[in-house]
Amino acid sequence: MTQAVAEHYQAFKQRGLKLDMSRGKPAPEQLDLSDALMGPLASYAADDGTDCRNYGLGVGLPEARALFGALLGVPPAQVVVDSSASLSLMHDVIVYALLNGVPGGTPWVTQQPVSFLCPVPGYDRHFSICEARGIKMISVPLGEDGPDMDLVERLVAADASIKGMWCVPKYSNPSGAVYADAVIARLAQMPTAAPDFRLMWDDAYRFHHLGDNKTEIADVLAACAAAGNPDRAIVFASTSKVSWAGSGIAALAASPANIAWWTKHAGVRSIGPDKINQLRHVRYLKDPATVAALMEGHRSLLAPKFDAVQQQFAELLGDVPGVSWTRPAGGYFIDLVTPPGAAKRTIALAKEAGITLTPAGAAYPYGVDPEDSHIRIAPSYPSLSEIALAAQGIALSLKLALAT
């Protein structure tokens, strides 16, 4: 048996594959869907007459705020549209909170230690922000319908150093978890020892369905407002995986007090965002229906790749004890769960066979998966034929890791 697995793996290695699946990048065909963005702009004037070639409008173009407002279900006045990366907005919210404090609060840096709850497995770049800015991370388990709320409620009620929590509420990275409405209600209502507690609500995959069932989740800002905690959540989104990753537009939605706070601090950082790109995007993306149609184009390219991974894993790993993987209804990732102690070795074997995966442990704070059992699979970038092969190589690597 071990011999057969080793031979199978060696034969696979001979193919000399060279694939980078370490990040969830859109494939070139997905980027091609939005090439119309580069068409000439009929004019440079925004609806309010602003010349978009010039400085100004730190909160974004009125029509860009209206578009994101419609997409996020929030009044435009509660939306700020900035430049391309929502991750930069998350980073800046944390830096402003550390240095200045959130509305009504004192600077977090004066209240050391500062801790964040981190549902795991989670998004490595969230954890990098915390690590780089000196925020202690506390892991909480993430299930299919959200974080372990009994634990979350207990921790935030008891510990005033817990100032925030990362949440990717829909099609989370990497497991595809979707927060249940009851979980969102509890997050909105829960008493927190820290009066200046914030939910960092990263809605990165709000429009990114893979199946026919287009999941909708509860509106966190409305839930927080109804619970008497209107300033608790800050919502982040971008068009990185709608139009172009790195050249899209990003938005932050929050209570009026949080928007005023953001605007004050962001106004020190910049004289205004790239409004030409905002104008280009608004004229191209137009409205939620146009965005939904574009996302269908993405889905038709992405879903077959996810299906190919599912098929290979079912065929090669379906009967391997202790191995499971997620079947996300949207988003960009599959979480392959191995028996304890096998993820690092599998990733190393896959690398030898020409497949670069996200480093083991990346989905955990400080890069340490205590069980060494999670492998993030990012099927988006390789071609359909490559992805089936890559999934086969990953499965063979795992089988060999378990056999030797």
Q: Does 278 bind ligand PLP (CB under 6 A)?
A: no
At closest approach, how far in Å is the CB of 172 from ligand PLP?
Answer: 7
Distance in angstroms (rounded) separating the CA atoms of residues 325 and 189: 32
- Contacts of residue 178, defined as CB under 8 A and 6 or more positions apart, other chains included, come to 144, 145, 146, 169, 170, 171, 172, 215, 217, 329, 330
The end-to-end CA distance of the chain, in Å, is 11
At closest approach, how far in Å is the CB of 25 from ligand PLP?
Answer: 8
Q: Which of 30, 78, 86, 346 binds ligand PLP (CB under 6 A)?
A: 86
At closest approach, how far in Å is the CB of 356 from ligand PLP?
Answer: 16
Q: Which of 108, 123, 197, 244 binds ligand PLP (CB under 6 A)?
A: 123
User: Is the peptide bond between 339 and the residue preceding it cis, with omega within 30 degrees of 0?
Assistant: no
Q: Which of 240, 277, 338, 397 binds ligand PLP (CB under 6 A)?
A: 240
Distance in angstroms (rounded) separating the CA atoms of residues 9 and 350: 9
Q: Which of 83, 175, 238, 346 binds ligand PLP (CB under 6 A)?
A: 238
Residue spans of beta strands (DSSP E) within 149-296: 162-167, 198-202, 233-238, 250-253
Q: Which of 9, 12, 21, 24 binds ligand PLP (CB under 6 A)?
A: 24
Q: Which of 80, 167, 183, 204 binds ligand PLP (CB under 6 A)?
A: 204
Q: Choose the stretch contacting ligand PLP; rule: CB under 6 A; options: 94-102, 237-245, 268-276, 395-403.
A: 237-245
Q: What share of the chain is helix, strand, coil (3-state, %, to 5)?
A: 45, 15, 40
Q: Does 250 bind ligand PLP (CB under 6 A)?
A: yes
The answer to whether the beta carbons of residues 284 and 37 sit under 8 Å apart is yes
Q: Which of 63, 202, 219, 372 binds ligand PLP (CB under 6 A)?
A: 202
> Which residue is listed with tokens 């996302």?
295
Q: Does 277 bind ligand PLP (CB under 6 A)?
A: no
3-state secondary structure of 287: coil
Instruction: Identify the H or E element spanning 147.
Output: strand 146-147
Site for ligand PLP in 155-174 (CB under 6 A): 168, 173
Whichever of 277 and 392 has its CB closer to ligand PLP, that residue is 277
Q: Choose the stretch contacting ligand PLP; rule: CB under 6 A; options: 83-91, 254-262, 273-281, 306-314.
A: 83-91
- Contacts of residue 236, defined as CB under 8 A and 6 or more positions apart, other chains included, come to 86, 89, 90, 200, 201, 202, 203, 204, 250, 251, 252
Whichever of 250 and 400 has its CB closer to ligand PLP, that residue is 250
At closest approach, how far in Å is the CB of 378 from ligand PLP?
Answer: 9
Which residues are at the interface with ligand PLP (CB under 6 A)? 24, 85-87, 123, 168, 173, 202, 204, 238, 240, 245, 250
